[in-house]
Amino acid sequence: MKVLFYGRLSEAIAPEIELASSSNCSIAELRQRLAAAHPHAAATLRSQRSRVLINSSLVGEDFVIGASDQIEFLPPVSGG
Amino acid sequence: MSVVARLEEHRLDPRQELGELLAQAGGDGAVVSFVGIARPHSKSGAPVDELVLEHHPILTRQSLEEIAVGAAERFDVSHVRVAHRCGIIPAGEPIVFAGASSAHRRAAFEAADYLMDRLKTEAVFWKREIGEAGAAWIEPTETDFADRDRWG
C-alpha cells in the first residue's frame, strides 16, 4: 500500500513509499511502525498534530487500514 | 453575500484584491483587509531570501474555502475574500490577502482577524524559510494556536 508524506515528513522520509501490507493495523500502530523505521522523523510521525488521511478523509487513531487504502501523513500545517 | 477563496500559484496582487473587494462592497459601510508579507529575516534574525509554500493537491483549496465560508457564516459580513500564494515567494512579496466587507466596521474587523487566525493554523500549507543558513520548516507557534482557540 502507498503512503504519501508532505512537508517535513516528505523531506525526512520520501514523498511516497510503498509499504508491505499494513492492513488490519490501526493508525496508532502505523505511526509506531513508521516511527521505528524512520527514527529521525519519529517525533513528527507520533505527534497528534500530524494528521492522517485515508483515501483523502481525515481518520482517527483507531481507524483500521484496509489493504487497498491510500494513506497520507500531513505534518502540522501553517498558512498566512 | 459572496465568498472568494483562491489559491494563487504565481502572483498575488493585494491592490487588485482590495479593488475587487471594494467594487463588490457597494452599499456596505466598511471594508477591512489584511496582507501578509514574506519577512526578510527569521525569528532568530537570520536573513531569509524566500519562503517556499508546499500545498496539497486537494486539501489546500478545500481548507481555504472552508475558512472563508466559516467567516461568512459567523460574522455579519457581506463579502469575504481570501487569496493565498503557494510556491516560491521572495522576501517582501505578499503571501496572503484576507478581507471582508460589512454594513458596520466591527464585523469586518472580526472577520479579517478570524480569517488570519484560522489560516495560520489550519490552511493546508507546509512552509520553509530559505536563506544563507539553509532551509527551516516553519510551523504554528503556541501563540498561533491560542489565537485560533479564541474563536472556539
Cell of A77: 500545517
Q: Which residues in chain A have their CB less than 8 angstroms from residue B122's CB?
A: 77, 79
Q: Which residues in chain B have their CB less than 8 angstroms from residue A79's CB?
A: 53, 63, 84, 96, 119-120, 122-125, 127
Closest chain A CA to residue B57? A56
Q: What is the reported pLDDT for A68?
A: 86
**ipTM of this complex:** 0.90
> Residue B20, Cα to own-chain centre: how many angstroms?
16
C-alpha radius of gyration, chain A, whole number = 12
Query: pLDDT tens-digit profile of B35-50?
Result: 999 999 998 899 999 9
C-alpha span between A57 and A76 (Å, rounded): 16
Category of B69 on φ-ψ map: left (φ > 0), alpha (ψ -120 to 50) or beta = alpha
Query: pLDDT tens-digit profile of A10-69?
Result: 999 999 999 887 678 999 999 999 999 999 999 999 999 999 999 989 999 999 998 889
Q: What is the reported pLDDT for A22?
A: 65
Asked if B68 is an interface residue toward chain A (Cβ–Cβ < 8 A), one would say no
Q: What is the reported pLDDT for B69?
A: 98
Helix (H, G, I), strand (E, B) or coil at B40: coil
Closest CA to B83 of B2, B28, B1, B7: B7
Query: pLDDT tens-digit profile of B78-122?
Result: 999 999 999 999 999 999 999 999 999 999 999 999 999 999 999
